[in-house]
Chain A
């Protein structure tokens, strides 16, 4: 894709900031001995609440869910920041954030035991972050600014040598 310099900077900054957010969310869960996805899942409402109960009541599924969250967020965050395998990282991040959204959507009539830190009606920060990841997916920048560029170069060079 051909971007102007400003467009490129904008996309890169967005990618790095989302990566930063994911990375710290992941690491803070990794270093906390008490963190578990159970509290979030227990408060789940709407379509996925049954799935959430199933996960929480099964220790194996719950530790799997904890593991996916802790390491998934950390890996997606680091990859987005570095611009490495960004396409996959963006999709993985999008899936995670959409899951957070759909496990606890801010729809009218759904009451949560933990109040939100802001005021949300249908749209919340998870949905916006998911949307931002979608934009990153549609307008990739890591093969221009990021480690993906380096690997693309290596592959291209390899092609030239053949």
Chain B
């Protein structure tokens, strides 16, 4: 009896022991049930918001083998700030740049510019000709062609300096030229290069005037050269993703698009440093202004105009060709809008009253009656209140860059409209909340970028500095040069070919002409004229 009692006491004490040991296990079970419910609910949301809506496509692959391809000899005409970047995209940075980029990377571990450059693909080309009207820049170009700090193998050849672009074009060893002169020289050089049978990469804006744009178009079509316009946004992954989403109709009918530029610094307003070595001996001023409608003798004013040419209509078109052209081309890439029927624009010189004649606040409207679409562009050079670009659909809005850039470069968010027809059921059932994005694109979200200055952040937000391929940071300028070289080799079409270029040029010139003439401009596609 006692034994039995002891046994039963032991058993119940063991049971008690076990219960005390396992007392908190139900809490873990409760956690797992709660987690499972939440996970299922979130998964359901994701299914409804993402998989059903966005058919994800794989990003274009970045790596291709060019080692067996034809070696191409390049010439650069205009080795200024942009010329430096373009030639670097081809794999030739001058010593000053590689040294300071390496130093910046040492000082700031988050600065990846040097690492990004050194991991560029070797494009199997040589820089053999450099033409610049400023001796210092020309020498830097020669130096770049020799710099052994570069992605891939050591340079094969050293570049020759040419004082005039026609001498460079006369060199039969040169296959292709990069044109990064001020805009007023683009047309003549592109036409001469095309006649000389050179393939052309031309920096944006295509030309200084509308007539020049038509002439360039005809010359490129007639000669059949491979032409690329310098809108590197064509290589930006975010724009490809945005296009996929819009092509699938996820935004519904789109009647209004708002494109914006905000800058707020002298640099952002093109008040660039006048090089201390710039003088009558080092600068060929006469050749510089040969294509400009108004000419002035060399002096202090000429120096300003040489280094800050974007501030005058004699050499460019100000905000229109310099910044609006980027946003227009990105939108043309995403929505294939083409040339508008009407354009009007207004603005003024309201902040930088420094002798310039291009406006620093400028707003343009492009009308597409056949597409039921209005495109607004609004720019100021005296406020950094970054607004980003907005594509507004009946069912959802896509905000790119600006303040809703998901905390990362060149991202975008899509938010459903509270009065959407397409999402009505989902809005009513609470699966979609118009307060929160239904799609967020954050490129390289697991990567960290040390984008430092406000201006570089501006470009980065627009996707003009870095893009991502398979999560790896790449300079879109490099991809754009590569795209052009591949098109030359395969006799194909690069992404911003002459058809895209003429859309950009005519649209921008319509808006510029409206500002200059103070009236609405109409496009006559049959006679290729502005009315």
Complex Cα distance, B23 from A15, in Å, reads: 12
Q: Which residues of B contact A62 (CB under 8 A)?
A: 448
Taking CB atoms, residues of chain B closer than 8 Å to A91 are: none
Taking the closest CB of chain B, its distance from the CB of A153, in whole angstroms, is 6
**In the complex, what's the smallest C-beta–C-beta distance from B152 to chain A, in angstroms?**
23
> Is A56 a contact of B448 with CB atoms below 8 Å?
yes
CB atoms of A34 and B28 under 8 A apart: no
Quick check: B448 and A38 within 8 Å, CB to CB?
Answer: yes
**Would you call A12 and B24 a contact (CB within 8 A)?**
yes
Given contacts A147-B21, A150-B21, contact A38 B446 (CB under 8 A): yes
Q: Does A45 contact B (CB under 8 A)?
A: no
Instruction: In the complex, identify which listed stretch (A20-28, A97-105, A121-129) lies at the interface while the others stay far away.
Output: A20-28
B27 touches A20 (CB 8 A): yes
Number of A residues contacting the other chain (C-beta, 8 Å)?
32
Contacts A53-B110, A81-B24, A146-B24 supplied; 16 other A-B pairs, CB < 8 Å: A20-B31, A24-B31, A27-B35, A34-B442, A34-B445, A56-B109, A56-B110, A57-B109, A58-B109, A62-B448, A78-B28, A81-B31, A83-B21, A144-B20, A149-B17, A149-B21
**A16 located at the interface, meaning its Cβ lies under 8 Å from any Cβ of chain B in the complex:** yes
- Tell me, in angstroms, the Cα distance from A71 to B446 when the chains sit together: 18
25 example contacts (A-B, Cβ-Cβ < 8 A) are as follows A16-B24, A16-B27, A19-B27, A20-B27, A20-B31, A34-B445, A36-B445, A36-B446, A42-B448, A53-B109, A58-B109, A62-B448, A78-B28, A81-B24, A81-B31, A82-B25, A83-B21, A83-B24, A144-B20, A146-B21, A146-B23, A149-B17, A150-B17, A150-B22, A153-B21
B18 at the interface (CB under 8 A from A): yes
Cβ-based interface call for A7 (8 A): no
Residue B39 at the A interface, CB < 8 A? yes
**Also in contact, A34 and B31, with CB within 8 A (given A57-B109, A149-B21):** no
Q: Of residues A16, A31, A58, which shows the largest number of chain B Cβ atoms within 10 Å of its Cβ?
A: A16
Inter-chain contacts of A53 with B (CB < 8 A): 109-110
A96 at interface (Cβ–Cβ under 8 A)? no
- Binary flags per residue of B105-123, CB closer than 8 Å to A gives 1, else 0: 0000110000000000000
For the complex formed, measure the closest distance between the CB of B186 and the CB atoms of chain A, giving whole angstroms: 41
Complex Cα–Cα for A57 and B23 (A): 45
Tell me if A145 counts as interface (CB < 8 A to partner B). yes
Is B446 a contact partner of A34 (Cβ separation < 8 A)? yes
Bound Cα distance A11, B405 (Å) = 45
Interface membership of A54, Cβ < 8 A: yes
> Is A145 a contact partner of B23 (Cβ separation < 8 A)?
yes
Q: Contacting B18 at CB < 8 Å: which of A15, A20, A78, A150?
A: A150
For residue A91, give the distance in angstroms from its CB to the closest CB of chain B: 19
Tell me, in angstroms, the Cα distance from A12 to B110 when the chains sit together.
45
> How many angstroms from the CA of A15 to the CA of B28 in the assembled complex?
12
User: Does A81 lie within 8 Å of B18, measured CB to CB?
Assistant: no
- C-alpha spacing A100/B110, complex, angstroms: 21
On whether the beta carbons of A82 and B446 are closer than 8 Å, the reply is no
Q: How far is the CA of A43 from the CA of B98 in the complex (A)?
A: 29
* Bound-complex Cα distance A42 to B28 (A): 34
Please, which residues of chain A bring their CB within 8 A of the CB of B22?
147, 150
3 closest cross-chain pairs (CB), A and B: A57-B109, A150-B21, A149-B21
Which residue of B24, B27, B28, B31 has the most chain A CB atoms within 10 A of its CB atom?
Answer: B24
Residues A23-56 near B (CB distance < 8 A):
23-24, 27, 31, 34, 36, 38-39, 42, 53-54, 56
> Contact mask B435-471 → A, CB, 8 Å, 1/0?
0000000100110100000000000000000000000
B493: min CB distance to chain A, Å: 36
Contact A81 B27 (CB under 8 A): yes
* Chain B residues with CB under 8 A of A36: 445-446
Interface residues of B in 352-380 (CB under 8 A from A): none
B9 CB to nearest A CB, Å:
16
Query: B12 to chain A: closest CB distance in Å?
Result: 15
Residue of B nearest to A114 (CB): B407
Chain B: CB-nearest residue to A16: B27
Q: Determine the chain A residues whose CB is within 8 A of the CB of B110 once the complex forms.
A: 53, 56-57
Q: How far is the CB of A74 from chain B (nearest CB, A)?
A: 11
Cβ-closest chain B residue relative to A57: B109
